[in-house]
Amino acid sequence: MSVATDERPHLRDHRRSERTFAWLSMTPAILLVGALIVVPLGWAVWTSLHRTNGVRSEWVGLQNFTDQLTSRQFWEILLNNAIFLLAVPLVLTLATVSAILIYERVRWWGFFRIALFLPTVISTVVVGILFRTLFSLDGPVNRIIDLFGGTPVDWLGGSTTARSVIIIALAWGGFGYGMMVLLSGLSSIDPAVFEAARIDGAGWFRRTRSITVPLLSGQIRFVSVLNVSYTFTSLFGYVFVMTSGGPGFSTTTLDYYVYQRAFVASQFGTAAALALILFLIVIVLTVIQFRLTAVDDGEPR
């Protein structure tokens, strides 16, 4: 009894020292998260409650939020982001088909694996310049059209065509990463599953629809969520280089609009409010996607 009594203080001291060591070990990470996420987010919230140009500041409460949410221009720009979401199914389709063909080792599969992934590591600014050059009035695309007797198109001068070019650029520049994610998923599937399907007479399209896509549902969901978030938060490079948001506001996205309000119009309070609205939109869309695509024992929730 006395031995157990003597051991308890020692055990408590040992556990206290373990907790202290654990907190000390986590301290650098906590400070890093605080410095890079919590503090900037808190400052953005504080700024969004003011009307400020960086020199003068006036408390306006939620006025910046209500001004934007009741603005027709805000909803038009949000619609642009929704239109650019058309790039997501393109990315998923290209990534899935490419991953399956490379997994099945079509001719020159090693070359295609590198070539198709290459656009992913290229800067969005470089991709934007490339597509701006391709679709300019005197660019290669219009030269081909002219060669076949057609009329050159001002691709970046019209709302619909400019949006279409950006969607194509998004799909071309983004599907390589999704391809690698899906390829890693395919590598974890037992090859005997595909071999059994071949023996049963299932063709390529039947195997893809009934076996490959269902088994890759987790990876496809990940790529989908990633690309939806990307479409709302990372189009600045494309828009800035290719169209500068024009013609009018037809290709202006929310992230580019935040830049315009902050660094062109010096409306930092409005820009902070827009950034927080964008942050909430991305969170809501991510939750919705996970809810719609989550499965439990093979049945949708």
Q: How confident is the model at residue 60 (pLDDT cuts 50, 70, 90)?
A: very high
Neighbours of 210 (CB within 10 A): 12
**Mean pLDDT of the region 182-191:** 89
**Whether the Cβ atoms of residue 95 and residue 226 lie closer than 8 Å to each other:** no
CATH match of 72-300 with 3.30.460.80:
no
- What are the phi and psi torsion angles at 295 (to 5°)? -125, 150
Q: How confident is the model at residue 97 (pLDDT cuts 50, 70, 90)?
A: very high
**Whether the Cβ atoms of residue 261 and residue 68 lie closer than 8 Å to each other:** no
CA distance 288 to 301: 12
pLDDT digit string (tens) for 132-182? Answer: 999 999 999 999 999 998 999 999 999 999 999 999 999 999 999 999 999
User: pTM above the 0.95 mark?
Assistant: no
Residue 36 token pair: 């890079």
> One-letter amino acid identity for 162?
A
pLDDT digit string (tens) for 221-270? Answer: 999 999 999 999 989 999 999 999 999 999 999 999 999 999 999 999 99
Start-to-end CA distance of the chain, whole Å, equals 55
**Whether the Cβ atoms of residue 278 and residue 233 lie closer than 8 Å to each other:** yes
Of 178, 174, 175, 283, residue with least CA distance to 238: 174
- Residue 296 pLDDT: 43
Domain ranges of the chain: 2-48, 72-300
CA distance 81 to 97: 26
Q: How confident is the model at residue 6 (pLDDT cuts 50, 70, 90)?
A: low
Residue 35 token pair: 């410095």
DSSP states of 87-104: HHHHHHHHHHHHHHHHHT
Q: Is the dihedral of CA 281, 276, 92, 293 positive or negative?
A: negative
- Residue 21 pLDDT: 79
pLDDT digit string (tens) for 108-134? Answer: 888 888 888 998 889 999 999 999 999
Q: What is the mean pLDDT of the chain?
A: 88
Dihedral angle, C-alpha 301, 231, 215, 97, nearest 10 °? 150
**Mean pLDDT of the region 1-27:** 70
- What are the phi and psi torsion angles at 253 (to 5°)? -105, 170
Residue 263 token pair: 């660094």
Of 60, 32, 67, residue with least CA distance to 46: 60
CA distance 96 to 208: 9
Contacts of residue 53, defined as CB under 8 A and 6 or more positions apart, other chains included, come to: 266, 267, 268
